[in-house]
Amino acid sequence: MPPPGPPRLPVIRIANGTFYRQHPSAQPAPRPLFSGLSLELPGGSAAAQHWCVVGPSLSGKTTLLQVLRGRLLCSPPTARSFPGLAGGVPERAVRYVGFDAEPGATTTTYLSARYESRREATDFSLRDFLLGKTGLNPLRTGGEDEAVLGRVAADLKLDRLLDLPAAFLSNGQGRRARIARALLARPRVLLLDEPFMGLDPATVAGLSPLLRTLCRTGSPT
C-alpha cells in the first residue's frame, strides 16, 4: 500500500471571524452579522460532500453563503482564508447561484406568453446563456467551455433545449440552466441558495435527483 499523501488543505477556513456589511468603524456602529464564527470546508476528500444550511426565514442562511464566497467584511481580515485554492482567490473556484428574486434572463418565464412565442432577432439561446454570450457584441467566444457544455447540459437534462430562446424556459429549466452555467466555470465549491423556493412539487421531484447526482460525483464540493 502506498504511503498516504500529505493532508489536503481546506477549501475555505474561517477562524474566529466577525463579519459586517459596513466597516466596523462606521457611524452609527454597525451590528456584526456573525461574531466569532469558525468553520472549515475540507478539500480533496475521497467521498463527495454536500452540506445543507437550514434555518427559519431571515436567520442568516444567505448571509452565511455570502461569507463563504468571500463577500462581506471580515475582522480580522486573516480570519477568513481559502488555503486550498490556487492563489487563495475564490472568484472562480467558489460559485454562488441564488434564486430569491434575483434578476436574470431565465427568471422571466412569462415572456413566452407575453410575446406569444414570437422570437426576436436579439433573443439569445440557452447555449448563449450558458456560455455567457448574451450581449449584442459578446467578447467571449466560449470555445473553452464548449468542450464540457454537452456533458453538463446532459447531466442537467438541458441538452435538447440548447437552441431554445432562454426566455422561453420554464422556472425549473431556468434554475437548471443557472446551475449549469455555474458548473461550466468548473468551481471547487458550488453554493446554491434556496434552489427549491417557489417550485411546484413535480419540478422539485425532477430537480432534486439531479442535484443528488452532482453531489455523488464529487465535483464540485
pLDDT tens digits, residue range 47-101?
567 888 999 988 999 999 999 999 999 999 999 999 988 766 788 889 999 986 5
Residues 106 and 67 in one domain: no
Residues 67 and 119 in one domain: no
- pLDDT band, residue 26 (cuts 50/70/90): confident
Domain for residue 175, yes or no? Answer: yes
Name the grid cell of 211. 442535484
Range of the domain at 33: 9-88
Residues 54 and 101 in one domain: no
Domain for residue 75, yes or no? Answer: yes
**pLDDT per residue as tens digits for the range 164-205:** 999 999 988 999 999 999 988 888 899 999 998 888 898 888
Domain for residue 1, yes or no? Answer: no
Q: In the listed set 88, 113, 147, which residue is the last one of a domain according to the structure?
A: 88
- pLDDT band, residue 2 (cuts 50/70/90): low
Residues 140 and 196 in one domain: yes
**Rg from Cα positions in the chain:** 20
Residues 144 and 167 in one domain: yes
User: Residue 2, preceding bond cis, omega within 30 degrees?
Assistant: no
Domain for residue 98, yes or no? Answer: yes
Residues 6+ apart with CB under 8 A from 114: none
Per the CB < 8 A criterion, the answer to whether 136 and 122 are in contact is yes
Q: In the listed set 88, 107, 132, which residue is the last one of a domain according to the structure?
A: 88
In the beta sheet, which residues pair with residue 17? 37
Residues 108 and 195 in one domain: yes
Residues 61 and 108 in one domain: no
Number of domains, the chain: 2
- pLDDT band, residue 143 (cuts 50/70/90): low
Per the CB < 8 A criterion, the answer to whether 14 and 66 are in contact is no
Domain for residue 4, yes or no? Answer: no
Q: Rounded to whole angstroms, how far apart are CA atoms 122 and 135?
A: 9
Which amino acid would we find at residue 172? G
- pLDDT band, residue 110 (cuts 50/70/90): very low
Q: Which of 109, 101, 74 is closest to 193 using CA atoms?
A: 101
Per the CB < 8 A criterion, the answer to whether 96 and 193 are in contact is yes
Residues 137 and 113 in one domain: yes
Residues 141 and 103 in one domain: yes
Question: What is the crossing angle of helices 143-155 and 171-183, to 10°?
Answer: 130
Residues 111 and 81 in one domain: no
- First and final C-alpha spacing in the chain: 27
Residues 83 and 181 in one domain: no
Cβ-in-10-Å burial (0-12, 13-18, 19+) of 29 comes to exposed
Q: In the listed set 57, 88, 119, which residue is the last one of a domain according to the structure?
A: 88
